[in-house]
Amino acid sequence: MSELTTEPKTRRFALRAGLAAAALPIAGLFGRRAAAQARPVTKVLDFTTSADIAKAEQEGALLFYTHDGEAGAAAAMDAFNKDFPKIKASYVRAQTGALYSKILAERSAGRFDVDAIQFSDVGTAIDFYKRGAFDHYISPESAAYDAEYLSNPPGYYFCSGMTFAGIAYNTDKVKPSEAPKAWKDLLDPRWANVTSTKQSTSGMQFVEWYELRKLYGDDYWKSFSKQRPHGFDSRAQLFDRLAKGDDKICALAEWAGYVLYHDRKAPIAFVAPEDGLPATALATGVVDKAPHPEAARLFIDWLMSVRGQAVYQQNPDLLYGSVRKDAPPMPGGLRLRDFKLLVPTNMEDFLASRKTFNSQWNSMLGLL
């Protein structure tokens, strides 16, 4: 177990499998759109793009659907707006499950308002891809990413960042000697009614449920349900409650949230259990039938670039680990390889378990 309080301690990073296994090759699918892309490449600011910048500025708008919280989504759009003031960028945010239901309902009704979309798990992106709902666009910035961090075939979505979670506790309410040091320690009766999680609409929560179920079996979550955990929509809610002492333990403590609240001097500590930390790759791409396609392509190029990745990795309301080859360390000097991450590898099994997760999690939180 590795506990991080004032200064993080590094560990060897063991990403159990790359996103190549998660990409789920689908030979021949969407062959027409996957044909060789012949677009001129130009340099703008300090990155390259194959978008038509003049047309993007004529379109004058970008609508981004994202799972990020309000502050994080706004920060990304503000940064893009600053670089391209002629394009008014806006966003809609919701947890991935709710966001996905929303866009599918809109598309079924013949509404195509969205230009780019970001999911908090690759499984949802794969399903969206199989529905033919991503546009095909190969960014010239793709060369800075290993193949496992691009869709297979490439050009539909990419890993815009990695997020991972451990355990956190309120140091005013819990002594370090009593704090959970492993995932199974969350089952101690002393944490009943004082533990928080996310709701089933969270892609990150789905990954934690799936990975810990693989490690410890179904009985783990059955036992955890006896703790009567509190479920919330965003990590900001989780860490606000933890910092105030409304909850003593956070069972889905995302690293990015911990760093933000730690920097604010909140009385919290982070624990990295030795078995590993559930992790998920964000998946971002251009939406098919986007009303502002050139603006969407320009946004993807910007986000894939060092410039965009710096926003995602350094902004305190985002703080996602970048998988770009030349990305600098995360705040505090850590890199993704300093953590042992638990990433779903059998995507067919992962996706097939979604209904079971939704049913069990909603029942546990009293939402059925």
Domains of the chain and CATH, by start: 2-13+163-279+347-364 (3.40.190.10), 20-162+282-327 (3.40.190.10)
Q: What was the pLDDT predicted at 314? A: 92
In sequence order, the 6+-apart residues with CB closer than 8 A to the CB of 364 are: 221, 224, 225, 229
In sequence order, the 6+-apart residues with CB closer than 8 A to the CB of 250 are: 167, 168, 169, 195, 196, 197, 238, 239, 242
More confident site: 233 or 209: 209
More confident site: 337 or 161: 161
Longest distance between any two alpha carbons in the chain, whole Å: 62
Concatenated DSSP letters for 288-328? TT-SSHHHHHHHHHHHHSHHHHHHHHHSTTT-PBP--TTPP
Q: What was the pLDDT predicted at 37? A: 61
DSSP letter assigned to residue 141: G
Using the predicted structure, report yes or no on whether residue 168 has a pLDDT greater than 60: yes
- What confidence tens digit (pLDDT) does each residue in 88-131 have? 999 999 989 899 999 999 999 999 999 999 998 898 999 999 99
pLDDT band at 334 (very low <50, low <70, confident <90, very high): confident
Q: What was the pLDDT predicted at 36? A: 42
pLDDT band at 233 (very low <50, low <70, confident <90, very high): confident
Q: Determine the average pLDDT of the residues in 264-274.
A: 96
Concatenated DSSP letters for 218-256? HHHHHHHHTT--EEESSHHHHHHHHHHTS-SEEEEEEHH
Using the predicted structure, report yes or no on whether residue 222 has a pLDDT greater than 50: yes
Q: Determine the average pLDDT of the residues in 208-223.
A: 96
Q: Determine the average pLDDT of the residues in 298-308.
A: 98
Using the predicted structure, report yes or no on whether residue 365 has a pLDDT greater than 70: yes
Residue among 94, 88, 97 nearest 65 (CA): 94
**pLDDT cut 70: percent of the chain above it:** 90
Tell me how far apart the alpha carbons of residues 202 and 172 are, in angstroms, rounded to a whole number.
Answer: 28
Q: What was the pLDDT predicted at 347? A: 85
Query: Could you tell me the pTM of the whole model?
Result: 0.79
Tell me how far apart the alpha carbons of residues 226 and 219 are, in angstroms, rounded to a whole number.
Answer: 11
First-to-last CA distance in the chain?
A: 35
More confident site: 319 or 290: 290
More confident site: 3 or 176: 176
Q: Determine the average pLDDT of the residues in 325-339.
A: 86
Q: Determine the average pLDDT of the residues in 257-280.
A: 94
Using the predicted structure, report yes or no on whether residue 1 has a pLDDT greater than 80: no
Query: Locate tokens 């992106």: which residue?
Result: 125
- Residue 272 forms beta bridges with which residues? 2
- What confidence tens digit (pLDDT) does each residue in 58-75 have? 999 999 999 998 999 999
Q: Determine the average pLDDT of the residues in 219-246.
A: 95
Using the predicted structure, report yes or no on whether residue 153 has a pLDDT greater than 90: yes
More confident site: 242 or 263: 242
